[in-house]
Structure 1
Amino acid sequence: MQVAVSHPDYQRIAQAIRFLEENFRRQPSLDEVAEAVSLSPFHFQRLFSEWAGISPKRFVQYLTADFLKTRLAEASNLADAAEAAGLSAPSRLHDLFVTLEAVTPHEFRRGGAGVHIAYGVHQTPFGPALLAATPRGVCGLHLLAPDQPKTSTALAALQKNWPEATFEHNETFTAPLVAQAFAPMAGQPLHLLVRGTNFQLKVWEALLRVPAGQLVSYQHIAQAIGQPKSLQAVGSAVGANPVAVLIPCHRVIRKEGVLGEYRWGSATKKAIIGYEMAQAERQAAQVV
């Protein structure tokens, strides 16, 4: 996903997305949306277009139930979606952008003993985020949405997942990783180190095969890991994803075309999905 490393006015963008989605049926004017975020129509249009690359009204069309159901129908199964994007082989995950490593069973049992984790809070295209990493890779990325817990709570959740690890606030170490995460460069894969059960790892690996701009259902993921009846467990594993955006749990929605809940806030999920769809549409137009 090619995006600017940060956007200082993201909170206004998220507020506008909420307003547009809530009032979609009556098609609010540009003036109304601008007023809702305390900007002039000119400045709001420019702000939103700079961030998303498309108009606000076009953006919110991606978030309607009918449109989302159409996207689900386009991916009859996860293998089809991955093959269409050239990601069917494990080595092509995220087009060689993300590599996923799990801790060993011994390391898992020890709760991260002997692991040193650096963390920092940085601006991203989707608001501030806490990124945590070890020398072996990024182990956490928590988006700090305005309606979600503050930094201290995000750090507590990270420490709960790595109870025996040592932690250090070190933004000098984490800043380059944030830049790489949101402005990836060819030939420079970003390594992830995760701590989870075998079932969670299967789900997270399946998520990496969902192309940007595509959506899948929980049923798609369950089928992809060979557990078609384990929908509730799949939902729990998706919700437990410790690395936002990079392990794209935001691309999983309910089969009815409903976006559903998101660990880092529903407005943030709408923003990421809409942004990725806009980018995919622009890239497709350039190819043609």
Structure 2
Amino acid sequence: MNEPDEANRAYRTVARAIELIRAHADRQPELAEIAQAVGLSESHLQRVFANWVGISPKRFLQYVTKEHAKRALAGTDVLSAAAACGLSGPGRLHDLLVVAEAVSPGEYRNGGVGLDIAWGMHASPFGTAFVAATPRGICRLAFVEPAEAGAECARLQAEWPHATLRHAPAEAAALLARIFDPPPQPKPLHLWIRGSNFQLQVWQALLRIPPGRLVSYGELAAYLQVPHAARAVGNAVGANPVAYLIPCHRVIRAGGEPGGYRWGLSRKRALIGWEAARSAQPA
């Protein structure tokens, strides 16, 4: 089994553990109970977590609790601090390496005439990922089940009815490796995204949130100077077409609850915990 497949398998174990903790949060089950529920020995479960994120299951699960989320939100103005630093704050996993370009109105209207979109699916640290890219940049990144490739392609074709969709598994695997396992000095990742002006403003703001940090929907609305439009901001966050790279998973409710996530709440919790753990470790 190769490393991406191992990471994929580890994520599924982590997701099951998160669901167990959520179901029994009032009594915080011990490691032995978690291990039994996911079908592993305690030592094997420890290794899975250590290989996936570098910490113990108990420590990781502290990062995905409501209490941790509330502490992360308290007394910080993450977006303003990030803006004061330029594009983002210190400690980003891909600081200044994600460049987002909007689809122009003319490109939107022609529906992708002459456009080549290469797509593929491959294992990632958060389950199977579907990625699609044009010569201009990545236009879609989603977490899916293997059987959902056809439906994802159909959605992509509906957005770009005149484009040519090309199955390119090797290109997709290489691109996902750049995203989830970047080299020490990675090249910029370019996004080419389609949305309304308001959606694009929200997505650009999301790019300023450092890994391991969280903001509420209200804080995001206030930063965008639309403090009474938190619901509209939430809808724009939910419409994000590029998972992980545009980090909509870093936006939660003011009370510490994760809120919605189009790719599943267990995955959102896993993303938050994974980033919090990595950000807390020495560089």
TM-score higher than 0.5 here?
yes
- Identity between Structure 1 and Structure 2 (%): 50
Counterpart position of 1:104: 104
Greater shift, 30-39 or 13-22, is seen at 13-22
Q: CA deviation at 1:74?
A: 4.0
Counterpart position of 2:177: 179
Structural mapping, 1:1-288, within 5 Å:
5=4, 7-9=7-9, 10-83=11-84, 87-88=87-88, 94-144=94-144, 150-185=148-183, 186-283=185-282
Distance in 1 between residues matched to 2:131 and 2:229, nearest whole Å = 30
Cα gap change, 1:228 to 1:161, in 2 (>3 Å): farther
Contact between 1:79 and 1:88, CA under 8 Å: does it hold in 2? Answer: no
Look up the SS of the partner of 1:112 in the other structure.
coil
Look up the SS of the partner of 1:152 in the other structure.
helix
Look up the SS of the partner of 1:87 in the other structure.
coil
Moved over 6 A (4+): none
How many positions carry a matched residue from both structures? Answer: 276
Distance in 2 between residues matched to 1:115 and 1:136, nearest whole Å = 10
Q: CA deviation at 1:80?
A: 1.9
Q: CA deviation at 1:83?
A: 4.1
Give the superposed CA RMSD: 2.2
Distance in 2 between residues matched to 1:239 and 1:200, nearest whole Å = 10
One-letter amino acid of the counterpart of residue 111, structure 1: G
Contact between 1:14 and 1:267, CA under 8 Å: does it hold in 2? Answer: yes
Contact between 1:117 and 1:133, CA under 8 Å: does it hold in 2? Answer: yes
Distance in 1 between residues matched to 2:105 and 2:93, nearest whole Å = 23
Contact between 1:145 and 1:265, CA under 8 Å: does it hold in 2? Answer: no
Q: CA deviation at 1:152?
A: 2.3
Cα gap change, 1:112 to 1:75, in 2 (>3 Å): farther
Distance in 1 between residues matched to 2:71 and 2:264, nearest whole Å = 24
Look up the SS of the partner of 1:210 in the other structure.
coil
Contact between 1:102 and 1:196, CA under 8 Å: does it hold in 2? Answer: yes
Q: CA deviation at 1:40?
A: 1.2
One-letter amino acid of the counterpart of residue 44, structure 1: L
Look up the SS of the partner of 1:142 in the other structure.
strand
Look up the SS of the partner of 2:209 in the other structure.
coil
Contact between 1:99 and 1:192, CA under 8 Å: does it hold in 2? Answer: yes
Contact between 1:136 and 1:192, CA under 8 Å: does it hold in 2? Answer: yes
Q: CA deviation at 1:162?
A: 2.5
Cα gap change, 1:271 to 1:77, in 2 (>3 Å): closer
Contact between 2:131 and 2:138, CA under 8 Å: does it hold in 1? Answer: yes
One-letter amino acid of the counterpart of residue 277, structure 1: A
One-letter amino acid of the counterpart of residue 43, structure 2: F
Q: CA deviation at 1:13?
A: 1.9
Contact between 1:93 and 1:209, CA under 8 Å: does it hold in 2? Answer: no
Cα gap change, 1:257 to 1:37, in 2 (>3 Å): same
Q: Structure 2 stretches of 5 or more lacking a match? A: none
Contact between 2:118 and 2:134, CA under 8 Å: does it hold in 1? Answer: yes
Greater shift, 201-210 or 66-75, is seen at 66-75
Contact between 2:88 and 2:209, CA under 8 Å: does it hold in 1? Answer: no
Distance in 1 between residues matched to 2:71 and 2:188, nearest whole Å = 32
Q: CA deviation at 1:183?
A: 1.7
Distance in 1 between residues matched to 2:148 and 2:74, nearest whole Å = 37
Instruction: Tell me the alpha carbon deviations over residues 29-85 of structure 1, each in whole angstroms, 9 at most, x when there is no partner.
Output: 11111111111111111111211211111111112222211111242351124546x
